[in-house]
Structure 1
Amino acid sequence: MGVDLESISEASSGAIGSLLSTTILYPLDTCKTKYQAEVQTHGQRKYRNLSDVLWEAVSTGQVLSLYQGLGTKNLQSFIAQFVYFYGYSYFKRLYLENSGSKSIGTKVNLILAAGAGACTAIVTQPLDTASSRMQTSAFGKSKGLWKTLTEGTLSDAFDGLGISLLLTSNPAIQYTVFDQLKQRLLKQKLKKADHDSSPVVLSAFTAFLLGAISKSIATFLTYPAIRCKVMIQAADPEDDDDDDKTKRAQSKSRKTVSGVVSAIWRREGILGFFKGLDAQITKTVLSSALLLMIKEKITAITWVLILAIRRSLLLRNGRLKNV
């Protein structure tokens, strides 16, 4: 089987878009993650809103710590998006070729997206866990990637994998909604466009808007699981008044789904499962919308580059054969 250039183009543009959007919004992501990881204790909490996290970094002179774990997050995000977009594009093309269909229905789209998401979660889970622990560490006390991954057992590196697999429904819903809305808009534009005109594509604003709508729907439906995952992967609490045994007990409780659910229910009630929903939507909507907007704009560029590289390799091979 030859190299699937279309899938590689989709994966490359998706990964580059993810890298840029993650870097731009990383301080917001750090504030959001630390806010979500905190559980109310005795009716008190350190962060009452998202701005409290930002103010802590500013007041303690640790503004640069808002970027702690950025390298790990970018690595995880780049690999995740490449694997996801390549898998989704490849599965989609494979289905169309084998089924003989000209389009993909919503149900099949969800299955293909979930399959690509599951592969992505398994491959990138250790990096995802490490980046979450680095973000939720006290400002200025974040550890490096290698130390974060090696300070626990192998199973610790896969904390939250079950929820991550469950959350494959999030991008599945998002990209399905986005793709369906995109196809409808493009069909409407094709009817109005001339046959001799240039290919019809989404404008940057339209892609941004569709990305925001699709991600909002997915985030709202899956948020309780998202918060549980953040708490499971969060760094161990740093409290000098607690002994090591207490810390280990807290850490163990946090790293089980039942422990997290119980803690949220007892200390914050049912609304606790939606704590930070506004921050999550703000961050993920902006991130996903930027990702899809950037991806739409650079897909054509990456496709041209890949074709140019392929042509160069073919010409070089032809010259070698003639020698």
Structure 2
Amino acid sequence: MPLTGTREMFARAYKEGYAVGAFNVNNMEIIQGIMAAAAEERAPLILQVSAGARKYAGQAYIRKLIEAALIEDDLPVALHLDHGQDFEICKSCIDGGFSSVMIDGSHLSFEENIALTKRVVEYAHDKGVDVEAELGRLAGVEDDVSSEHSIYTDPDQAVEFVQRTGCDSLAIAIGTSHGAYKFAGEAKLDFDRLEKITNMLPNFPIVLHGSSSVPQEFVKMANEFGGEIGSASGVPEELLRKAATFGVCKINIDTDIRLAMTAVIRKYLAENPTHFDPRQYLKPAREAVKNMVQHKIKNVLGCSNKI
């Protein structure tokens, strides 16, 4: 099955009150685990590639791995660039066969962000590729994206931004953050702000970045077998499920996959000190990815049986 865009995915998600999972991929095992989960759940997927993943695995390698995955499983899958930092990166991915790209101009002024996003939109739409943009800024660190402070999205600016750029979806800041250390105290999302943006942009897909929940069983497992992850905490899953009923059509999940893989590998190597074949520890790691993603699809995103 060929890659699909996100427009039709999001139209149905918005109408039926669920979100599509956007899972970051870095290697074969992660892709296989995600695909296996979605195949069992009959769920649409967005596989997204960050700048760090492009440096680590190479854009062509990841593209071909996903092509192979689509031969195995007949699923609607979008291949998405996560946090494209400039026009050139977006152009490279568009020309390289991605079906969706994100241009992240959130570090720029409002007018500069509009100009950059509009340029990407014009190039992408000419090639049949969808564009996600970002307005507002998330705190935290993920690959090459980092910010010490959050800047929540202004609803009035969001409307103007969408109208002037023609972007297909918009990532907003309402309290989520990148990485494993999201909240020092009680986790809160600004649902009043989200509802206002949704009401002002009816039927327009909203995106939440930094939406891993950091399951504490994997934090505990990693630490038990030599890790030093500390007081990591994420976005409670019930808040993410609620967000999907407020026009959020795409929820990004990366840290939870990293955490599950690393914890399982640490445990396996500690319990099997004589093993050195990567296939031995990557097999349970792949299964951990599958189980994590399947749980998210069924219980958080609500997108099981949506194809």
Determine if the TM-score, normalized by the shorter chain, exceeds 0.5.
no
Between structures 1 and 2, the one with greater helix share:
1
Higher relative contact order (CA 8 A, sep 6+): 1
- Return the TM-score normalized by structure 1: 0.23
